[in-house]
Structure 1
Amino acid sequence: MKIALLGYGKMGKTIEEIAIQRGHEIVIKTSDEDGYDITLADVAIDFSVPKAAFFNIVNCLKHGVPVISGTTGWLDNYENAVNICMEENGAFIYASNFSLGVNIFFELNKQLAKMMSQLKQYNVTIEEIHHTQKLDAPSGTAITLAEGIISEHTAYSKWLLNESKEQVIPITAKRIDSVPGTHIIDYTSKTDSIQITHTAHNRQGFALGAIVAAEWILDKKGVYTMKDVLNIG
């Protein structure tokens, strides 16, 4: 499989390493919006920056190249990307986190929220911790976790960063050197706490999940999620 890496930072380099180990070829490596011929690739993996992500995704879809995107911070244009994918009969997966473990964690989070929805004495909070180079806060993963709780727990209607209000899930974002990513869901009452945590030890899990998604989407048409790739939920 010939892969275009759109965004060649630390994540792109890790994806390259694992892709080659799995027998794939990297035909494009770029951190720029221009200057590459996307038709050289069988599939594209976008881990760029928010201002470039939408351009990269549309460019792939317009040229019939399936695209996997893990870039966060551009989701105001997500529905536009979905519409373009459908118009072009393309293939597209966006995930706030491609880690196989995190996607299982997403489903565990929803199940716990459903179980806790009748227990009004518990208040839920989310904490996410990432490396200091991460540009957006809260993380896309934390937002997905919050949305998962809201979908199952009627006591909550939205989330806010570093702010606690009634019917709001507060998300705390911390930035610490060399932390790949930690997400903590905490339900606390006056008598006890229930906590679930996902801790990434390195970038390999995120990279592997993106490559697995790229392998899966080849020759498919439509808009998918990691739930489709992993057949979970």
Structure 2
Amino acid sequence: MKILLIGYGKMGKTIEQTALAKGHQIIGTVDHENAQELKNFTSANTDVAIEFTHPEAAFGNISYCLVHGIPVVSGSTGWLDRLEEAVALCLKQKGAFFYASNYSVGVNLFFHFNEYIASKMKDYKAYEVSVREVHHLQKVDKPSGTGITTAEGILSSYTNLEGWVADNPEEKSKLNIISEREPDVVGTHVVTYSSEIDQIELGHIAHSRAGFAEGAVMAAEWLVGRVGVYGMKDMLNL
């Protein structure tokens, strides 16, 4: 495949290595320093774009790809207030859009198990549920997209909670997401069910970015030739 990388930070470089190792071609890299070069890419010269950028740039990048017929895989977080617009644009353009807050296969299995456990634990009122996410110091958004997706998986069963709240354990009417930033942490997510008697935890710890990159390239391979809006549940048949 001819892959365009939009976003060429740590994640973009790891995706590049993974894609090349699988025999794909990187036809271009676009970052904030050369953002104007995005206009050089269309469906005529690009099979798929993989987009990992900052919250303020993501929607514009995704929109460009959809308008110009380029299937786009996005892993940017912090822009989801405009996700419905991107979905509507994809459907209008009859394009292909794949979004996930996290492309690790392990994390998406974690999401799956998280939803299942929440559906059972909601009946046990003695347990208070919370989410904790830990990332490296350069992580821009807080809470992380993966932390929010984890919380939403719990809230689908905990209908008594009024959404989630960031770093405010005193707000008992909402699900608390605790965000921590430490040096050299790829990504840790832990769901805790705590009572006076005992504690239950479900967690995922990423050791490297390789799993994220592998999943993003898999998504790009899977998306080409399809029309519509997709996510990891579709690809992994969860």
Give your verdict on TM over 0.5: yes
Letter in 2 for 1:4: L
Partner of 2:139: 134
Superposition CA RMSD, Å: 0.8
Q: Which runs of 5+ in 2 are unaligned?
A: none
Of the three residues 34, 37, 49, the one matched with 2:36 is 34
Cα distance in 1, alignment partners of residues 160 and 172 from structure 2: 9
1:48 matches 2:53: yes
Q: Percent identity?
A: 50
Partner of 1:180: 186
Offset at residue 38 of structure 1 (A): 2.1
Cα distance in 1, alignment partners of residues 130 and 26 from structure 2: 41
Of the three residues 145, 152, 159, the one matched with 1:147 is 152
Cα distance in 1, alignment partners of residues 216 and 228 from structure 2: 17
Question: Counterparts in 2 of 1:169-208, with a 5 A limit?
Answer: 169-208=175-214
Residues 79-117 of structure 1: CA deviation (Å, up to 9, x unaligned): 111111011000001111011100010010000001101
Cα distance in 2, alignment partners of residues 187 and 180 from structure 1: 24
Cα distance in 1, alignment partners of residues 103 and 50 from structure 2: 11
Letter in 2 for 1:193: Q
Secondary structure of the 1:26 match is: strand
Question: How many pairs are equivalent?
Answer: 232
Residues 28 and 41, structure 1, Cα contact 8 Å, conserved in 2? no
Task: Give the TM-score normalised by the residue count of structure 2.
Answer: 0.96
Secondary structure of the 1:152 match is: coil
Residues 117 and 155, structure 1, Cα contact 8 Å, conserved in 2? no
Secondary structure of the 2:154 match is: helix
Task: Give the TM-score normalised by the residue count of structure 1.
Answer: 0.98
Q: Which runs of 5+ in 1 are unaligned?
A: none
